[in-house]
Amino acid sequence: MNEISDLAKITSILGIAATTYLVYENNSIFINEYELFTRKTPNSFRGFKILHLNNLYGKTFGSENYRLIEKINSLKPDIIVTTGNMLTSSLDKDFVFLELCKNLRSFYPIYYSIEGCKNLSGKKYEKYRDYLKGLMDIGVILLNNSKVSLIKKEDKLNIYGIYIEDEIKSFSLKEGFKKEKIFSKEDVVNKLGSPNRSEFNIVLANDVINFEAYVKWGSDITFSGYTRAINRYIFNNLMERKKGIFIEKDSSMILSRGLGNDFLKMRIMNRPEITLITIR
């Protein structure tokens, strides 16, 4: 009887410890900060701070996302860029990102590389359309195979948003992520046009696979995240690039592990993350 009682106590303690760990692992925001030195950084943009949000998936960190907002405000970015899925696949939390932007937009320009809506129809499509309109109404800049230029004095910084989800196949445990094809430089040109290589070019792409194509195209910094908000600790053998900063030639990729999850509802050794890049 005592052995059973002791086992029950141990099981209870382990259960409490596991629950505490999972709550922390899924709700404690990690801040990743990098300083990026490039020869091409325009003089007027040296010291410019870019905050990257990825794959929110309708996740909230406290009431009205106040803990996420506090983290962002503490970093004092010049702009905010977003990649990946801000919505859940069912669109049931679509106003979370919109409300977050309402609280941030008065202080920071926000550039949103939108996810697609190719498979949406009926009420879901109308809901998604209203969601995008709500973002535009508060001044969020939507980028869908398009660009916006920031100008300081005589210097220019271009931000491109590329839509690549049509070319990405679904994830499977057997085969991992598969693509119909690897992008070439020409594929990127077909979507974004040809860049001015004498200017500083940033690409927002929720696409870790095609970094080389963006480098050849002319990206100086590529902000990316995972194609799906999969827990990369569990499936970490499927891709070489999992998180962090990657350099190729004179180009960098900033890969975020994201903030939320869609169909996998928990993170293990993979805390939610926001990234701040200071270009020098």
All structural domains of the chain, each given as residue ranges with its CATH number in brackets, are 31-279 (3.60.21)
Q: Which of 67-76, 165-174, 182-191, 199-208 has the lowest mean pLDDT?
A: 165-174
Residue 77, amino acid = P
What pTM was estimated for this model as a whole? 0.86
Which one-letter amino acid corresponds to residue 197?
R
Note the pLDDT of residue 118. 60
Q: Residues 203-218: pLDDT tens digits?
A: 999 888 889 999 999 9
Average the pLDDT over 11-30 and give the result: 80
- pLDDT for residue 165: 62
Helix (H, G, I), strand (E, B) or coil at 103: helix
Q: What average pLDDT does this structure show over 105-126?
A: 84
Rounded Cα distance between 157 and 159, Å, is 7
Strands 168-172 and 176-179: antiparallel
Distance CA 79, CA 47 (A): 12
According to the model, what pLDDT value does residue 228 have? 46
The pLDDT tens digits for 141-164 are 999 999 999 999 999 999 999 987
Decide which of 233 and 115 is more confident. Answer: 115
Helix (H, G, I), strand (E, B) or coil at 193: coil
Closest Cα partner for 55 from 117, 6, 112? 112
